Structure formats: C-alpha cells, structure tokens
Chain A
C-alpha cells in the first residue's frame, strides 16, 4: 500500500472516530451525570437525521437542516427526559436498559408510521461537496474534512463547557457527588433535563451530518449506538476525554482492520477466501479491542475504578 493511500485511510479512520465521538459524547455525559444507560440515544440520532432531511427538503438549506436537527433532537430528548427518563435515575441498570429499549421500539415504528418505509433524501450542500487536494496529492472529500472539523470543535466546546462554565461546574459536581449538588442549592431536575437535551442535540447533529453521506432510514441509529457504547466503554464511562480517545481508537481500528486484515490474509490464502476471512475478522476487531481493554482495565482507559 502506498503511503498516500495509507494516510488517506488514517484520515478515514479519524473521520469515522470523530463521528462516533459526537454520539458517544452525549451518551457518556448522560451516564456520567445521571448514571443512566440510554439505549434510545440511537433514536435521537435518527430523529436528527429525519428532521434535517425534512427541513432540507422543504427549504433546500443545509444550515437550516442542521439547526432543525439540533432542535428536534433536543426537544425529543427533553420530552422523554421529562416523561420517562427521570423516573429511571434511581433504578438499576436493568430497568434502564429495558425502558430505553422500549423507547427504541416506539421511536422506530413511530418514525416509520410518520415517514413511511422508504429512506429519505438528504444531500451534501454544493459548497461542501466534492474532493479537495491536500498537501502530498491526497484527494479527500471536503465534507469529510468538515465533519472532522465540526467534531473537533464540539470536543473543544465540551471541554470548555465543563472546565469553564457554571453548568460545567454543576456537571462535575453531579459526577462526583449527587448529594452535593442538592446541597449547593442547584435545581437538579433542570440540570438533568438540560444535560439530557444537550446529549440528545449532539446525537441529532451527528445524525444530520452523517445522514448527508449515508442513508436516512428507520433503524439507522442502532448500529451507531452499539459502536458508541463500545467507544465509551473503552474510554471509561463518564469521561469526555475517554470518549474522544475511545472514538479515535475504534475509528482507526475499524478502518485499518478493514483495509489491512484482508491484505494480511492474502499472503497465504486465495484472494476470495482471504478477503472474506479478513472481512469477518475486521468486523470483530473493535469488539476484540473492547474485550481486550476491559480485561486489562476493567473500568476502561479513563474510567474511575
């Protein structure tokens, strides 16, 4: 493999990782502050994508579509937080898993009922479409570079939010000691709703950004959800830094696994068999990575023991 192709694949891995980070950040934030496992996070991703596709279809503006995705996902997040999720904070993980699984069923079939079974159309805006030539002669889609940019901006924004702002202080307080925030006179319900809506908005944004280069359809959220869980578990649940590192690790492992494993097997196997076996192993690679990390560090890379 040429160096240029290799660098391009690294970029692809980073881009995939950054996309996963947008999903994982909300998940890990919600777990860190409220101790909640939210399986319905993938549904919020889907809602973001559907909202963006609808608005883009009506107005033709990608910018408005992104705003719509943030708003719709945040609104849906706040709605389920107020009606369902807040009853789950003091439950065990089992109840949370089941209740949010039920929410997936409701959201998925509800969306199908509203939008039909066929995928929706959402395209990259003209000013972001097509490839650009990077130094070294690498041709790379501008839109993917934009996703990397947005993801890193969001990461920086989250770090700043948590380190610098009032709500960040409350979030950190909530992570370390839930009774303390009550003692500090903070309105916990409002804080929880805000954090949940923030996490939901990030998922919705991810859905809209990714919807433009993938398929906007019912069920699009669950595969990403599982990957996002892999990310936060590798990074250590509750840690934004862990989510970023985990996302990049998963993105790179998956992309490079897909590229390199078939090549490795083709050294000593027939091409079709090598490609097939390599692909099988590649789809298992991130789970092997996750199991390996957990066996070494049972609380993830940056998790609290």
Chain B
C-alpha cells in the first residue's frame, strides 16, 4: 500500500468525521473550525495549482481571496439593504443566493487573475513574487480607502446567504457545502495534474526551454493556470466571507497571501492534499499554541522553521517520502 493515498484518505475522511462527531455531541464550534479548515484548504488548492503545478510563487493570492469575499459582501449587502447594485445601463440587484454569489466571485477573481497574470507573467523568479505582492498591496490600499463598502471597517452581513434546499445557518449543513466544494476542487486538481495541460505545465515549471522546443508556449499555459488558480481561491474567499458573515480589507493583506502559502508549503507543495493537511495542521497549531502562551507566534515560527529546514516536501513528504507520480 502506498502511503500517500492512505494518508490522503485518512485526512479527508477525518475532516468529515470530526465535525460529524461534533454534531453528534453538540460541539458546534468544532464544526465551525472544520469548516474553516475546509475553506482555507480550498484557497490553498487554488494556490497549489499555480504554485505547485506551475511553479508560480504568487505572494498576491490574497487578491483573489479578497475579491471572492467582496463579491459576497457587496452582493449580500445590497440585498440586505434592498438597494440596487447598478441601476444603469441595466438594473442589477444584490442577491443572497450562494450559487449566484459563487459564480460572480469566480468570474470576478478569474478576470482579475487573467489581468494580473498577463502582466506579472512577463517576469519570473523573485520579480514575479514581488510584482504579485505589489498587486496585492494595490488592492489592499484600495479596499481600505474605498468608503462605499466600509473601507477598513469592512462589511457585516447579518444572516448567512442561502443555498436552495439547505439551512446554511446550521453549522453542519454549511460545513457540508464547503466540504463538497473542497472535494470537487480536489477532484478537478487531480484531473488537471494528469491531463495534457498538467503535463505541459509541470514540464514548463521544470524546464521551460524544453517545452518551447516542442512547440508549446509556457506563457499561455501559465496564464491559464494562474487564472484557474485565481478562480478557485476566489470561490474560497466567497465561502470564507460567508463563514464569518463579514469581509474586510484584511482579506487582501500580504499576510493573508503568506498564510495561504504557508498551508501549501506546510502540507507539501504540488501534492494533491498538501493544502488540506497544511490547513488542518495550521489551524490545530493556532489553537494548541494559542492556548499555551500569549507569545505563541514564537512557537509557530519555530515549527515552520523546522518544517522548512528538516522536512523538505512538507508534512506529506515527511510521511510519504519523495513524490512518485509515474507510470
């Protein structure tokens, strides 16, 4: 039995079992935590597409996370106050329907990723890291200074948005939605990874010269990957906003980008379940260490340092050994 699939299955079922257990014993906060893990893992799956498969070290993925969040916040706040979003040239109303919000979030973050990617992918290496960071900062300062939707105060939505046939206010039902979406995203990721696109993208990460010499343009591949990545992270942002019933510019901050990246690296870059395991461990650490000391960031830093220095390939690498995805 290969250890990585076993680990993946354990984690994925565990992520289902814990909230079900919490539901049975009426510990709703544990369900909320599990939901948080699922959503952050989803954001990580998005980043992993660019970072893991494409080798694109983006320190600006908070942009898409934030756009997804604000898509939810803006639509729901207009629905909440019964004011139209746009009256001219066509009347667009707000909405409290999750599926509509998701589509808007994915569309908007995808467009943003397309535009940012088109410019950023002209650079590479450190320059790419920094230009994506710069775009993140632009959105961050814009959101803080933009008074229409709350500026730094953000937007509060009093009631969680609805999904047909479900009561989203019930923690376990909202968890179910997030869990299913995470599962779908993982499935999409696994398909992409072994598709023609995934092969070419991976090859472009390892050796762009080779890919060009066989007549494939890496720029286009990377732009598509970056856009898809933004779409998934944007969807996570919309769910995250719904979990908290709140959005704020913090979602755009570079620390948010950093945290999403930490999930991916902690779990294992380019591994299917890397972001999931990373998010589980991160949230767990946050709660364990946060209880130990006010200065728990010291311990978090130490743990991260140990993982980077001594557990190359992240936690999955530690447990399951070096990646083997060959026929």
Interface residues of A, Cβ cutoff 8 Å to B: 31, 37, 84, 87-88, 91, 93-95, 97-99, 101-106, 108-110, 112-113, 226, 229-230, 233, 237, 276-277, 279-280, 283-284, 287-288, 290-291, 294-295, 298-300, 303
Report how far A229 CA is from B129 CA in the complex, Å: 10
Given contacts A229-B130, A280-B141, A299-B127, contact A99 B304 (CB under 8 A): yes
A233 to B128: give the CA distance in the assembly, Å: 10
Interface residues of B in 49-64 (CB under 8 A from A): 51, 57, 59
Given A109-B297, A294-B131, do A31 and B304 touch, yes or no (CB 8 Å)?
A: no
Q: Is A237 a contact partner of B127 (Cβ separation < 8 A)?
A: yes
**CB closest chain-A residue, reference B306:** A102
Chain B 75-102: CB-based contact to A (< 8 A → 1; otherwise 0): 0000000000000000000000000000
How far, in angstroms, from A108 to B123 measured CA to CA in the complex?
Answer: 32
Residue among B124, B137, B145, B308 making CB contact with A280, cutoff 8 Å: B145
Asked whether B138 lies within 8 Å of A284 as measured between CB atoms, the reply is yes
User: Is B261 on the interface with A (CB-CB < 8 A)?
Assistant: yes
Binary interface encoding of chain B residues 288-313 relative to chain A, with 1 for a CB under 8 A from any of its CBs, else 0: 00000001111011111100110010
Distance of A294 Cα from B300 Cα, bound (Å):
34
- C-alpha gap A291/B118 in the complex (Å): 12
Q: A110-B298, A233-B127, A280-B146 are in contact. Are A98 and B304 (CB under 8 A)?
A: yes
The A-contacting residues of B in range 121-149, CB under 8 angstroms, are: 122-127, 129-131, 133-135, 137-138, 141-142, 144-147
Across-interface contacts of B125 in A (CB, < 8 A): 93
Would you give 16 A-B contacts (Cβ < 8 Å), ordered by A?
A88-B309, A94-B261, A105-B304, A106-B297, A109-B295, A109-B298, A113-B298, A276-B147, A290-B131, A291-B135, A294-B119, A294-B120, A294-B130, A295-B119, A295-B122, A299-B127
Q: Is there contact, CB below 8 Å, between A84 and B145?
A: no
Query: For residue B124, which residues in chain A have a CB less than 8 angstroms away from its CB?
Result: 298
Q: Is B316 an interface residue (CB 8 A)?
A: no
Q: Which residues of A contact B304 (CB under 8 A)?
A: 98-99, 101-102, 105
Contact check, A101 vs B258: say whether CB atoms are below 8 A apart: yes
Given A94-B269, A97-B57, A112-B295, does the pair A233, B308 have CB atoms closer than 8 Å?
Answer: no
- Contact at A102–B302, with CB atoms within 8 Å? yes
Known: A97-B57, A106-B301, A294-B123. A287 touches B137 (CB 8 A): yes
**Which has the most chain B C-beta neighbours within 10 Å: A37, A103, A105, A229?**
A105
A287–B127 touching, CB < 8 Å: no
Chain B residues with CB under 8 A of A294:
119-120, 122-123, 127, 130-131
What number of A-B contacts does a CB cutoff of 8 Å give? 128
From B130, B261, B296, A98 is in contact (CB under 8 Å) with B261
A105 near B123: Cβ-Cβ < 8 Å = no
Residue of B nearest to A289 (CB): B134
Flag if A237 contacts B308 (CB, 8 Å). Answer: no
Given A106-B305, A284-B137, 17 further pairs, Cβ under 8 A: A87-B309, A94-B261, A97-B261, A98-B265, A99-B309, A102-B305, A103-B305, A105-B304, A106-B297, A108-B297, A109-B297, A112-B295, A290-B131, A290-B134, A294-B122, A294-B127, A294-B131
Indicate if the CB atoms of A287 and B134 lie closer than 8 Å: yes
CB contacts (< 8 Å) of B120 on chain A: these are: 294
Docked CA distance A185–B136 (Å): 44
| B interface with A by C-beta (< 8 Å) | 51, 57, 59, 119-120, 122-127, 129-131, 133-135, 137-138, 141-142, 144-147, 254, 258, 261-262, 265, 269, 295-298, 300-305, 308-309, 312
Assess the B261–A106 pair: CB atoms within 8 A. Answer: no
Min distance, Cβ B253 to any Cβ of chain A, angstroms: 11
A99 to B311, CA, bound (A): 12
Could you say which residues of chain B place their CB within 8 Å of the CB of A106?
A: 297-298, 301-302, 305
- Residues of B within 8 Å of A31, CB to CB, are 126
> By CB atoms of chain B within 10 A, which of A110, A277, A294 has the most?
A294
Pair B126/A280 contact, Cβ less than 8 Å = no
Tell me the smallest distance from the CB of A172 to a CB of chain B, in Å: 20
Chain A residues with Cβ under 8 A from B59's Cβ?
97
Q: CB-CB < 8 A to A230: which residues of B?
A: 130, 134
CB-CB nearest in chain B for A104 = B301
CA separation between A102 and B302, bound complex, in Å?
Answer: 7
Inter-subunit contact B142/A284 (CB<8 Å): yes
Identity of the chain A residue whose Cβ is nearest the Cβ of B118 in the assembled complex = A295
- Kindly identify which residue among A37, A88, A229, A280 contacts B142, using a CB–CB cutoff of 8 Å: A280
Report which of B123, B144, B146, B262 forms a contact with A298, defined as CB distance below 8 A: B123
Contact B119 A101 (CB under 8 A): no
List B contacts of A95 (CB < 8 A). 265, 308, 312
Q: How far is the CB of B301 from chain A (nearest CB, A)?
A: 3
B309 touches A84 (CB 8 A): yes
Residue of B nearest to A296 (CB): B122
Q: Are A103 and B127 in contact (CB under 8 A)?
A: no
> Smallest Cβ distance from A303 to chain B, in angstroms?
8
B153, chain A: closest CB distance, angstroms = 14
Please indicate the chain A residues that have their CB under 8 angstroms from the CB of B138 in the complex: 284, 287-288, 291
Chain A residues whose CB sits within 8 angstroms of the CB of B258 once the complex forms: 101
When chains A and B are docked, how far (Å) is the Cα of A31 from the Cα of B125?
Answer: 12
Give the complex CA separation of A283 and B127 in angstroms.
21
